[in-house]
Amino acid sequence: MKKSIYKFLAKLNKIVLPSYTKKRLDLAKASKLQLAIIGWRAWVTKRAID
């Protein structure tokens, strides 16, 4: 059950949040908000895969 919630969140993130890898964002020049979004997406994706 818990894993299905994270899978849903991962799909929602893909639709709603911007993809910075497609925009070729340099992590050294990223703002705090952009880094937070990257961290959130990575955390949810990790939980959905495990």
Tell me the pLDDT tens digit for each residue of 8-50.
Answer: 998 998 889 888 888 888 889 999 999 999 999 999 999 998 7
Confidence of residue 1 (pLDDT cuts 50, 70, 90): low
Token pair 């299905």 in the structure block, residue: 4
Q: Are 44 and 10 in contact (CB under 8 A)?
A: yes
> Which residue range is the domain that position 29 belongs to?
2-49
2 pLDDT band, cuts 50/70/90, is: confident
Tell me what the mean pLDDT of segment 4-10 comes to. Answer: 90
At 23 the pLDDT is 86
Q: Could you give the number of structural domains in the chain?
A: 1
How many Å from the N-terminal Cα to the C-terminal Cα in the chain? 13
